[in-house]
């Protein structure tokens, strides 16, 4: 297959994927740093490059509402957002997933007010982690593009039917340029296919009622079924990744271990910071240190079993969180990883780091310091270490 | 324009067996609304009484496709449904005709859903938005909304020792919809079935966003006997408390002019939400209400170019 190498920002990569998917309906509202996606897509529509029905709504609450309406009607529907926009959608996120609508959404990570800040951290998408959406975090623009091509197949799988967000770090990915290999339009369209829902509002022969009220006699069962779909979808997501690899040549996983097989000290990370950690791991490996990285690519469903299998032999783990959990216990990823590994015997030391809030840089030296501290913690057998901050003036 | 006989022969899309209170004006509104369309409709409704009473899982009172998502967004949700319809039709994946009706109570329309309604109308989606205006948040226990008329008692604007009910003016949503320059906007009520059905037909046949505000008396919230719903609605129009009119491409037309305009007190005195006005000190308030009704009626006559307008 002929691939085209283009220099693209993360937002452009997202828009390119959307152009190739050419969804039936896109409803969106601008917010920095996501705005560009909406603009680029509107340009494609204006130029007749795609024939999507776009809805330039008056708010993110309405963009998610309209996307839900379109998806329920039987269309492949997408939107995009960031930060306050995601927060304004919060009510509707639960409704999208509770109605089991396979909506796909690029989510450009940006911190939440106050204080007002437009730069990257994960406080927005982490706040939505329990909303029943699948969450994929991209490391670079290539992964943004690839993940968005995979996302409709995952979301629309008849045994998954869960809305899916592809998270990319604001500015770090959304506005930084890198080489991205694009696949031919027909190949992508063929891979993604056409969405043919089993139930849709627009069906004269089989009208349906969507969004009924559940009392205590049914609500719990519906939520349990939703949770079960989330719990059991991991192999199905992996199957989409495998099929993608066969077609386009790049293999992805729910988690992506890097130089981990014989590693003693490991950093767990998601998003663009994985690139920085990779460099540090290579450097330390050259100095003969048994270090590795685990990139969490799919955060929802949480790959607990996969983490246990991969990290069981490790002595110390440092989890990097780009969000503060505001519980006095560090960030959300740290809490979940520590919990997943609790039953291991021997139990590795697991420490947490909050970093990069509001777009604060994370440097190679910072990651080196994390590995150093982790080694110290392991040597001292410190298992009560909760959470540290990287690069903040205390 | 169907006769009553023809109407009753039409398949009912909004069926009986829902859990609305006896005499619920909103349920009657829906029944009339849903007997009208020749083309299949998709109905979308905001959270509120009518949503709660019509779709208690695993039951549904809807024979057409129906969607409820949240309180403030039936217009936005239906924008998506209508966009999907246009997209799938254009792409040749759907060749069935549909109409779209978004609905909400006054809370879900005048207040929390105001933005999404305004957005949908401004964008020009072909949908009929129907507000069933029972003049308060009934589902959560009769709290004031911006549709609650001045001096009415609600649980958050109670008539007390010092304050005699809701102090603020009622928001004129129909006027605001007209200001959106949509091709069709109207007011109706359950008591005037021919008028209402006629308006629904016109709206559904209009290619663009349309709006009908329906006064839907609520026996529970207004405090009147359940068998009086239709009569109370008739008093509302005969006193000009709730004028019936339509605005087609900006042209006002009054669709019902009472032969003899009754004093508004005849409408008010049957409802416990105005009970406090019959107590001592109620006189000036009654006068205030009458004056406001008169002034609005005169303004409307003027807009419609009728005699008696100021
Ligand atoms: C965001 C949000 N806020 C509040 C509510 C609670 N709530 C549900 S229905 C309702 C009032 C509905 O009033 P209205 O729209 O007038 O319809 P009615 O109940 O009179 O039929 C309220 C406040 C909600 N469901 N969602
Ligand atoms: S409270 Fe009023 S609006 Fe609600 S169901 Fe009862 S009568 Fe109808």
- Tell me the C-alpha distance between A346 and A11, whole Å: 44
- Expressed in angstroms and rounded, the spacing between residue A339 Cα and the centre of ligand 1 is 39
Tokens found for residue A297: 């690519």
Percentage of chain B lying above the pLDDT 70 cut: 99
Residue B247 CB less than 6 A away from ligand 2: no
Tokens found for residue B168: 């603020």
CA distances from A25 to A34, A37, A41 (A): 18, 15, 11
Q: Which residues of A touch B84 (CB under 8 A)?
A: 24-25, 53, 69-71, 73-75, 77, 202
- Tell me the C-alpha distance between A252 and A275, whole Å: 15
- Expressed in angstroms and rounded, the spacing between residue B51 Cα and the centre of ligand 1 is 10
pLDDT above 80 (res B224): yes
pLDDT digits (tens, 9 = 90+) for A18-55: 999 999 999 999 999 999 999 999 999 999 999 999 99
Q: Which residues of B touch A204 (CB under 8 A)?
A: 40, 96, 98
Instruction: Give residues with Cβ within 8 angstroms of A126, minimum separation 6.
Output: A323, A331, A332, A333
Q: Which of B236, B273, B45, B269 is nearest to A201 (CA)?
A: B45
Q: Which pLDDT score is estimated for A347?
A: 93
Residue with tokens 């959560």: B140
pLDDT above 70 (res B310): no
| Cα diameter, chain B | 69
Q: Rounded to two decimals, what is the model's pTM? A: 0.98
Residue B219 CB less than 6 A away from ligand 2: yes
Of B40, B73, B115, the CB nearest to A204: B40
Given a cut of 70, the residues of chain A with pLDDT beneath it are none
Write out residues with Cβ below 6 Å of ligand 1. Answer: B 47-50, 71, 104-108, 134, 137-140, 145
Q: Which of B280, B285, B240, B281 is nearest to B263 (CA)?
A: B240
Dump the DSSP string for B205-225.
TSSS-EEEEEE---IIIII--
Residue range B10-18: mean pLDDT, rounded: 88
Instruction: Give residues with Cβ within 8 angstroms of A339, minimum separation 6.
Output: none
Angle between helix A304-311 and A332-340 (nearest 10) = 70
Residue B26 CB less than 6 A away from ligand 2: yes
* Closest ligand 1 atom, residue B111 Cα: 15
Residue with tokens 């560090």: A330
pLDDT above 70 (res B212): yes
- Ligand 1: which residue has its CA nearest to atom 3? B71
Percentage of chain B lying above the pLDDT 90 cut: 91
Q: Which of A96, A180, A190 is nearest to A138 (CA)?
A: A180
Any B CB within 8 A of A384 CB: no
pLDDT band at B280; cut points 50, 70, 90: confident
Q: Determine, for residues B57 and A211 on separate chains, whether the beta-carbon distance falls below 8 Å.
A: no
Question: Of the bound ligands, which one is closest to the alpha carbon of residue B53?
Answer: 2
- Expressed in angstroms and rounded, the spacing between residue B273 Cα and the centre of ligand 2 is 15
- Tell me the C-alpha distance between A99 and A313, whole Å: 41
Put simply, the chain A residues between 201 and 240 with a CB less than 8 A from any chain B CB are 201-204, 207-215, 218
- Ligand 1: which residue has its CA nearest to atom 5? B71
Q: Determine, for residues A59 and B80 on separate chains, whether the beta-carbon distance falls below 8 Å.
A: no
pLDDT above 90 (res B7): no
- Expressed in angstroms and rounded, the spacing between residue B243 Cα and the centre of ligand 2 is 22
- Please say whether the beta carbons of A326 and A344 come within 8 A: no
pLDDT above 90 (res B86): yes
pLDDT digits (tens, 9 = 90+) for B38-70: 889 999 999 999 999 999 999 999 999 999 999
- Expressed in angstroms and rounded, the spacing between residue B52 Cα and the centre of ligand 1 is 10
pLDDT above 80 (res B2): no
Identify which of B27, B71, B143 to mutate to test ligand 1's pocket (most ligand atoms within 8 A of the CB): B71
Residue range B23-44: mean pLDDT, rounded: 92
pLDDT digits (tens, 9 = 90+) for A246-301: 999 999 999 999 999 999 999 999 999 999 999 999 999 999 999 999 999 999 99
Residue B218 CB less than 6 A away from ligand 2: yes
Residue range B68-78: mean pLDDT, rounded: 98
Interface test with B, best of A23, A60, A65 (most B CBs within 10 A): A65
């Amino acid at each position: 297959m002929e691939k085209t190498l283009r220099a693209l920002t993360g937002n452009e990569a997202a828009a390119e994927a959307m152009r190739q998917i050419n969804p039936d309906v896109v409803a969106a509202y601008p917010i920095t740093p996501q705005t560009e996606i909406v603009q680029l897509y509107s340009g494609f529509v204006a130029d007749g490059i795609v024939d999507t029905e776009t809805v330039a709504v008056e708010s993110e609450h309405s963009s998610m509402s309209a996307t839900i309406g379109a998806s329920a009607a039987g269309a492949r529907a997408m939107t995009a957002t960031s930060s306050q926009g995601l927060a304004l959608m919060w009510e509707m996120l639960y409704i999208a997933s509770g109605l089991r609508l396979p909506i796909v959404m690029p989510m450009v990570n940006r911190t939440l007010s106050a204080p007002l800040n437009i730069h990257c951290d994960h406080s927005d998408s982490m706040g939505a982690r329990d909303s029943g959406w699948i969450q994929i975090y991209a490391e670079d623009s290539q992964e943004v593009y690839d993940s968005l091509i995979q996302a409709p197949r995952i979301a629309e799988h008849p045994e998954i039917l869960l809305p899916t967000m592809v998270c990319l770090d604001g500015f770090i990915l959304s506005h930084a340029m890198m080489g991205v290999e694009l696949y031919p339009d027909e190949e992508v369209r063929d891979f993604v296919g056409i969405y043919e829902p089993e139930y849709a509002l627009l069906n004269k022969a089989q009208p349906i009622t969507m969004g009924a009220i559940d009392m205590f006699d049914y609500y719990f069962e519906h939520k349990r079924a939703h949770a079960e779909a989330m719990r059991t979808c991991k192999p199905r997501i992996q199957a989409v990744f495998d099929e993608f690899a066969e077609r386009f040549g790049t293999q992805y996983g729910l988690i992506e271990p890097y130089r981990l097989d014989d590693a003693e000290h490991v950093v767990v990370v998601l998003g663009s910071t994985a690139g920085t950690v990779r460099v540090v791991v290579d450097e330390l490996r050259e100095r003969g240190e048994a270090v590795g990285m685990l990139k969490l690519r799919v955060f929802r469903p949480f790959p607990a079993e996969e983490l246990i299998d991969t990290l069981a032999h490790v002595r110390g783990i440092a989890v990097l969180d780009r969000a503060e959990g505001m519980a006095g216990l560090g960030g959300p990823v740290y809490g979940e990883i520590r919990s997943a590994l609790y039953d291991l015997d021997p139990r590795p030391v697991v420490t947490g780091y909050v970093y990069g809030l509001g777009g604060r840089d994370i440097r190679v030296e910072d990651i080196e310091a994390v590995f150093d501290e982790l080694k110290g913690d392991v040597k001292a057998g410190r298992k009560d270490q909760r959470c540290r901050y990287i690069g903040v003036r205390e | 324009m169907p006769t009553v006989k023809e109407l009753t022969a039409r398949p009912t899309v909004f069926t009986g067996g829902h859990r609305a209170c006896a005499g619920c004006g909103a349920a009657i509104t829906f029944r009339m609304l849903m007997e009208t369309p020749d083309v299949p409709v998709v109905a979308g409704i905001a959270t509120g009484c009518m949503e709660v009473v019509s779709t208690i899982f695993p039951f549904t009172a809807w024979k057409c496709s129906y969607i409820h998502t949240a309180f403030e967004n039936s217009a936005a949700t239906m924008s998506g449904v209508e966009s999907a319809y246009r997209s799938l039709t254009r792409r040749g994946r759907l060749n069935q005709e549909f109409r779209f009706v978004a609905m909400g109570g006054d809370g879900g329309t005048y207040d929390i859903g105001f933005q999404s309604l305004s957005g949908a109308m401004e964008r020009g989606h072909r949908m009929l938005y129907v507000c069933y205006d029972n003049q308060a948040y009934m589902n959560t226990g009769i709290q004031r909304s911006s549709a609650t008329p001045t001096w009415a008692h609600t649980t958050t604007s109670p008539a007390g020792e010092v304050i005699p009910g809701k102090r603020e003016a009622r928001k004129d949503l129909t006027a605001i919809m007209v200001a959106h320059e949509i091709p069709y906007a109207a007011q109706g009520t359950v008591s005037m079935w021919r008028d209402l059905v006629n308006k629904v037909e016109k709206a559904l046949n209009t290619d663009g966003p349309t709006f009908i505000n329906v006064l839907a008396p609520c026996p529970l919230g207004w405090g009147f006997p359940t068998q009086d719903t239709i009569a109370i609605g008739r008093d509302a129009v005969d006193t000009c408390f709730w004028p019936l009119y339509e605005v087609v491409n900006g042209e006002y037309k009054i669709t019902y002019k009472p032969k003899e305009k009754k004093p508004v007190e005849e409408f008010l005195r049957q409802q416990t939400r105005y009970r406090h006005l019959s107590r001592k000190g109620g006189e000036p308030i009654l006068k205030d209400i009458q004056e406001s009704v008169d002034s609005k009626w005169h303004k409307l006559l003027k807009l419609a170019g009728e005699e008696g307008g100021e």
